Amino acid sequence: MRAFVAIDLDPGALDVLAEARRAFLHGAPSWAGEKWVEEHNLHITLAFLGSVDEAVSRALVSALVAAGARHEAFHLDPAGLRAVPALRRATMLWACYAQAPAAEALSADLRTAALTFAPETAVRPFTAHVTLVRSRRPRPVPAGALQAADEAVSTRLSVLSVPSVTLYSSTLTRHGPEYECVAALPLRRA
């Protein structure tokens, strides 16, 4: 299975991000044909584990549960929308959250715990974000469209409470990825 550990978004955040998408597409209709992430698949990836052998999945879950239990629940503050890597040549649009030491430490600990069982675990630094869309090629983002979407997010997206994280399996289909919850990883109460 292909797997990742993620922070789930609450229904209110999903509604706000759907509104931001509509506001963005109103000002940038040419982006409608790009690969928008389905609303029910939106999340913040803490650790991408790559392919995991089914034979080690139970041991992996145990290691991840133990890693999660060492960390206290935390909050993430919204930090607006961003065209990645740049406004003129974007390949993605992110809803960003402010960097939080608690999230960074959890991400690092989860990746370390997973490496024994999932050698493809990505070791890139953690950046708190939700990928909203991926472009097939670098393209400009109209500043007005980004600003309109950002206003929708800035005025309505609230602080995200993170009492637990989730290990997901990912199956690629011709209609896009399908995610299945493998295990909930509770964090300590603050």
HSE on the CB side for 152, CA within 13 Å?
22
Give the total number of structural domains in the chain: 1
Q: If you average pLDDT over residues 31-57, what whole number do you get? A: 94
pLDDT tens string 70-96: 999 999 999 999 999 999 999 999 999
Round to whole Å and give the CA distance between 85 and 72.
32
pLDDT at 56 over 90: no
The CATH number covering residue 111 comes to 3.90.1140.10
Round to whole Å and give the CA distance between 26 and 79.
22
For the chain, state the CA radius of gyration: 17
The pTM assigned to this predicted structure is 0.95
Round to whole Å and give the CA distance between 154 and 23.
13
HSE on the CB side for 71, CA within 13 Å?
26
Q: Quote the distance between the C-alpha of residue 16 and its chain's center.
A: 15
- What percent of the chain is predicted at pLDDT more than 70? 100
pLDDT tens string 94-128: 999 999 999 999 999 999 999 999 998 988 889 99
Which residues make Cβ contacts (< 8 Å) with residue 133, sequence separation at least 6?
21, 31, 34, 35, 36, 37, 92, 93
> Residue 128: which domain range?
2-186
